[in-house]
Amino acid sequence: MNGGPATDEHAGGSPPAADRGGGRSAAPWIVAGLIVAADAFISIRSAADLDRLLINLVLALSAFATLHARMLSLATAGFMAIGAYASAILTVKVGLPVEAALLAALGLCALVALLIGLPVLRLTDVYLAISTLGFGEVVRILIVVLADLTGGPTGANLSTGFPYDAMKRIGPGAIAAALALLVYLFWSMSRSRTGRALRAIRERPAAAASMGIDLMRYRTLAFVMSAIIAGAAGAFYAHSVGSLDNSDFRFNRAVDVLGYAVLGGSGQWFGPLLGAGLLTALPLLLRDSLGASIGFLRGFAQLPNILTGLSLVLVIVFFPGGLAAVFPPRRARARGRAAASIGAALPGPLPPRSPSAGGEPLLVVAGLSRAFGGVAALGGVDLRFERGVIHGLIGPNGAGKTTLLNLISGAMAPTTGSILWQGREIAGRRPHEIAQAGIARTWQGVRLFDDMTVRDNVLAGHHARMGNGVLATWLSLPRSRRQEQAAAEEANGLLERLGLGGFADRAAGTLSYGDRRRVEIARALALEPQLLLLDEPAAGMNGVEAEALGTFLVELKHRGYTLIVVEHHMELIMRVCDRIAVLNFGRTIAQGTPAEVASSDAVREAYLGRD
């Protein structure tokens, strides 16, 4: 029913409609800033309070790094502990200057994150969460076991050789500076190729992979970032509080941080900051203001926990996008008129594909089988797909057409058989590798990243062709900026040609079904693929729309693309395809030109039944 620990399926619905990541105004910035400032005013009585608030804000960003990519990591407390103790030990026992100790501690966190990330990040959502749950506890136990080094269960304090003066090295200014740096890093990342990749993974991992996005790579990046930031928070904690208690890093801490991210919303970087600000200040506010009238509130030590708990449950149930999702998306300014249908606006030429090398077929499928349990969805299919041709793939319900597409695009691995792409074996390769090799696809029932703008969806298709990683983004290297610029221009051009120019800044989920279908095709084209796999592109279209689609597909062919189209819309298939393969019961029952297939008895029988 649902995926087990090793499945990479997107279990359940995509992020809720309220969490519109695209097209925001500057208002949230300002509001967030105001709230945090108000927080500070309300809750801060001393430098220590300020430290605490700032550290919580840093932790919030740690949670954001993973939750934003839909990974529930509960290892925050563990990494915090590693950062805290490592930095404390290096400063006090080894005598390093605090800056060096800090960096070394961060390096250690990164290393540990990589080590446990490699095996653990392959697991699906809940199993990842469970394994990170355990990690925090293991760290805590390690600290107790290595008592000579760490001061053991009593913590790192005066009595265990960690005097306050040696520990206390950081004030709120340093933490605030670090926080500002982190905000900059997240802000710039969100507008970059890396940010888009993470948001794509958040929404639809399978579709992201089919756009050439390496899921493991980005999940590892997110996890390591989260670990480093949590480690930094830990180090700040050690050096601002001046002593450490083992109980500072209990699981509760991870839950609190989760609360920040959930309350504030993990769709945008400022969400968790909002959440942290509120959950830090609110209990104090309630206690002080209402505590005057409601006596028991003043002594109600559990108030912060109850608020966190309530936030988690109420927000997840009633507005899963968190507070950040409450901000309305920027209203799209209509830029140019949106054409009525595909094909009506195809002014300039689409990027031409490279001419065919030799006369060999582009894609050869041999003996391809795929079984689920004992049932063979495909049982030994042999097909050849020539370059520059529109291939139709038809057959009754359950014949195996989508399975075949899935095998070609790498969404599934075959049980047996081979898939030769331009002479190379690609059977069983990962989807992002196949996308990078030049095969793009669309999905049955459109799978867009609904909470990203239309343009960002298309830019996701550009992912594989761009090279600017996150470091290049952060350093704002000119090469990186140029690439972004060029990609944006290309994306705009593609959208214009498909009559979607006016929608570029709209959240993709707000478009009509037909428009979303076109965006999906634009996104696939952005890959500059040699081969385009289309799964029921005409579903739900009426005659006029289907005709326009057909014209567009033929246009694509003339520009040099090769197409494999799975469809039930017979008129479209017969009109547009050069060659058609017919599947039934997981096998090929006919192949040939439309005329041959239409007059084939075997095909008639497959569809209409035997007499």
Partner 1 sequence: MALLDVEAISVRYGGIEAVRGLSFAVEAGSMVAMIGANGAGKSSILNAVSGLVRPRAGRIRFDGADITGHAPEAIVRSGVVQVPEGRAILGPLTVAENLDLGAWSRRDPGEARRTLEEVYALFPRLAERRRQLAGSLSGGEQQMLAIGRALMAHPRILLLDEPSMGLAPVVISAVFDAISRIHRAGTTVLLVEQNARQALRLAERALVLSRGQLMREGSSASLLEDPVIVEAFLGRA
Partner 2 sequence: MDLSLLADPVFLAQNVVDGAARGALYAVYALGFTLIFGVLDIINLAHAATFMWCAFAGWLVLSAGLSLPLGLAAALVAGAATAVLLELLAFRPLRRAGSDRLASMISSIGATLIMVSIAEAVFGVSTRRFPDSALDPRPFFLGGAGGLRVSRAQILIVAAAVVLSLALGFFIRRTRMGTALRAVAADQRASRLLGIEVNRVVVVTFAVAGALAGAAGILVGLLTNAISPGMGSQIELRGLAVVILGGMGSIEGAVLGGLILGLVETFAIAYIPGGGDIKDAIAFIILFLILLVRPNGILGRKAEDAA
User: Which one of partner 1, partner 2, none is in contact with 164 (Cβ closer than 5 to 8 A by kind)?
Assistant: none
Taking contact as CB under 8 A, which single stretch among the options 117-125, 327-335, 532-540, 547-555 is the one that binds partner 1?
532-540
Q: Compute the CA torsion angle 417, 423, 426, 432 (nearest 10 deg).
A: -160
26: exposed, middle or buried (Cβ count in 10 Å: 0-12, 13-18, 19+): exposed
- Identity of the residue, 391 or 463, whose beta carbon is nearer to partner 1 in the bound complex: 391
Among 42, 35, 13, smallest CA distance to 451 is for 13
Q: How far is the CB of 525 from partner 1 (least distance, A)?
A: 21
Q: How far is the CB of 445 from partner 1 (least distance, A)?
A: 4
Which stretches of 363-477 are assigned E, i.e. beta strand?
A: 363-372, 375-385, 390-394, 416-421, 424-425, 439-441
User: Exactly one of 67, 323, 491, 573 binds partner 1 (CB under 8 A); which one?
Assistant: 573
Host H or E run for residue 416: strand 416-421
- Identity of the residue, 29 or 127, whose beta carbon is nearer to partner 2 in the bound complex: 127
Query: What angle in degrees, to the nearest 10, is found between the helix axes of 125-145 and 251-264?
Result: 140
User: Which one of partner 1, partner 2, none is in contact with 313 (Cβ closer than 5 to 8 A by kind)?
Assistant: partner 2
Q: How far is the CB of 132 from partner 2 (least distance, A)?
A: 10
Q: Please identify which residue in the block is written with the tokens 């600000």.
A: 277
Q: Rule CB under 8 A: say whether 609 interacts with partner 1.
A: yes
Among 534, 532, 547, 555, smallest CA distance to 446 is for 534
Q: Which of residues 359-398 bind partner 1 (CB under 8 A)?
A: 373-375, 396-398
Q: Please identify which residue in the block is written with the tokens 């030590």.
A: 301
How many CA atoms are closer than 13 Å to the CA of 476, on its beta-carbon side?
A: 5
Q: Rule CB under 8 A: say whether 445 interacts with partner 1.
A: yes
* Rounded distance between C-alpha atoms, residue 48 and residue 43, angstroms: 11
Q: How far is the CB of 508 from partner 2 (least distance, A)?
A: 20
Q: Rule CB under 8 A: say whether 608 interacts with partner 1.
A: yes
Q: Return residues touching partner 2 (CB under 8 A).
A: 1-13, 16, 70, 72, 119-120, 123, 125-127, 129-131, 133-135, 137-138, 141-142, 144-145, 205-206, 209, 251, 255, 258-259, 262, 300-302, 305-306, 308-314, 316-318, 320, 372, 411-413, 431
Q: How far is the CB of 396 from partner 1 (least distance, A)?
A: 5
User: Which one of partner 2, partner 1, none is in contact with 445 (Cβ closer than 5 to 8 A by kind)?
Assistant: partner 1
Q: How far is the CB of 99 from partner 1 (least distance, A)?
A: 54
The answer to whether residues 36 and 275 touch, using CB atoms and an 8 Å cutoff, is: no
Q: How far is the CB of 607 from partner 1 (least distance, A)?
A: 5
User: Which one of partner 1, partner 2, none is in contact with 411 (Cβ closer than 5 to 8 A by kind)?
Assistant: partner 2
Residue 274 CB neighbours (<10 A): 27
User: Exactly one of 325, 419, 565, 603 binds partner 1 (CB under 8 A); which one?
Assistant: 603
* Rounded distance between C-alpha atoms, residue 449 and residue 453, angstroms: 8
* Rounded distance between C-alpha atoms, residue 430 and residue 433, angstroms: 5
User: Which one of partner 2, partner 1, none is in contact with 596 (Cβ closer than 5 to 8 A by kind)?
Assistant: none
Rg (CA), the chain: 28
Sheet containing strand 416-421, strands side by side: 375-385, 363-372, 416-421, 424-425
Q: What is the distance of C-alpha 161 from the center of its chain? A: 45
Q: How far is the CB of 196 from partner 2 (least distance, A)?
A: 21
Where residue 519 falls (left for φ over 0; alpha for ψ -120 to 50; beta otherwise) is alpha
User: Exactly one of 293, 302, 542, 601 binds partner 1 (CB under 8 A); which one?
Assistant: 542
Residues contacting 313, CB < 8 A, separation 6+? none
Q: Rule CB under 8 A: say whether 326 interacts with partner 1.
A: no
* Rounded distance between C-alpha atoms, residue 387 and residue 466, angstroms: 26
Q: Rule CB under 8 A: say whether 602 interacts with partner 1.
A: no
Q: Which two tokens stand for residue 500?
A: 């979607």
User: Which one of partner 1, partner 2, none is in contact with 431 (Cβ closer than 5 to 8 A by kind)?
Assistant: partner 2
Q: How far is the CB of 110 from partner 2 (least distance, A)?
A: 20
* Rounded distance between C-alpha atoms, residue 292 and residue 419, angstroms: 74
User: Which one of partner 1, partner 2, none is in contact with 560 (Cβ closer than 5 to 8 A by kind)?
Assistant: none
User: Exactly one of 168, 330, 559, 568 binds partner 1 (CB under 8 A); which one?
Assistant: 568
Q: How far is the CB of 570 from partner 1 (least distance, A)?
A: 3
Tell me how far apart the 2 most distant CA atoms of the chain are, in Å: 94
At 356, is the secondary structure helix, strand, or coil? coil
Q: How far is the CB of 399 from partner 1 (least distance, A)?
A: 9
Q: Rule CB under 8 A: say whether 540 interacts with partner 1.
A: yes
Residue 72 CB neighbours (<10 A): 17
Q: Rule CB under 8 A: say whether 611 interacts with partner 1.
A: yes
User: Which one of partner 2, partner 1, none is in contact with 609 (Cβ closer than 5 to 8 A by kind)?
Assistant: partner 1
Q: How far is the CB of 259 from partner 2 (least distance, A)?
A: 8
- Identity of the residue, 370 or 516, whose beta carbon is nearer to partner 1 in the bound complex: 516
Going by their DSSP bridges, the two strands 562-566 and 579-584 should be labelled as unpaired
Give me the residues that bind partner 1 (CB under 8 A), please: 373-375, 396-398, 445-446, 513, 516, 536, 539-540, 542, 568-571, 573-574, 585, 598, 603-604, 607-611
